[in-house]
Structure 1
């Protein structure tokens, strides 16, 4: 397996992340979060898969930690490899569609998360410059095109 080479010449493996795609009444659950550079950006509830955790467990955990909504995964939408234009990091994002219920407004949100929002596709497009990455719209557009794969495709062999 080849590693991606960054502009600095270092080889770096992609970071494995999950993203929850949730639609309710033509609005998508997103978060407003502070990026590493201090800017406020918009993203799906998303994050890294932790050691000893399955992809599905990571999606459930990240969604709750970032939005205080309980996420029920239903299908895989896609697996996306993306590298930042600066070439300093690459990401392998696993987009999972599902539903939410059981919101806990008293649960503290992850550090860096300002708030969760429900936005239409059009509202997200109008904020395109604030999207954390092009993966946000790609996941939503693939979901809207009807892309769905069984969760059973996501195998976890954890010991």
Structure 2
């Protein structure tokens, strides 16, 4: 009797890499000439990145610096959720950037529906903030992975625990 094969679909951010990217971006801010005498900074607090800058133009430059460092470190920009810039103390702007961890319930249902509509012989089940996809044939699982990579769900997906 053949045992079912499976894999998990997750959406996670590598926090140590994010921390390294934030440190690199902060270092670049202190060295750039156009940020001399500026109150611009980038800090990491739990699962949020806090951006502070003098004005809207400099805030956009801070975002560009941060995004370039994240991309170089292999972090997808889809994992970032930008808040609205808000006025802060000392005539500065403050913006929070949340990192999306896990698959939201509505996105998991969309992924589930796509797999069911595809007629690939796999079974998917929602387990908290991840999805378990299982099937008898490994070729079906690979077809499911290819299908999910092709679709756009608005989040970055990783496929782990392939057995």
Question: Which structure dedicates a bigger proportion of its chain to strand?
Answer: 1
Q: Which category of TM-score, normalised to the shorter sequence, fits these structures?
A: under 0.3
Q: TM-score, normalised by structure 1?
A: 0.26
Q: TM-score, normalised by structure 2?
A: 0.26
Higher relative contact order (CA 8 A, sep 6+): 2
Q: Which has the larger radius of gyration?
A: 2
Question: Which structure dedicates a bigger proportion of its chain to helix?
Answer: 2
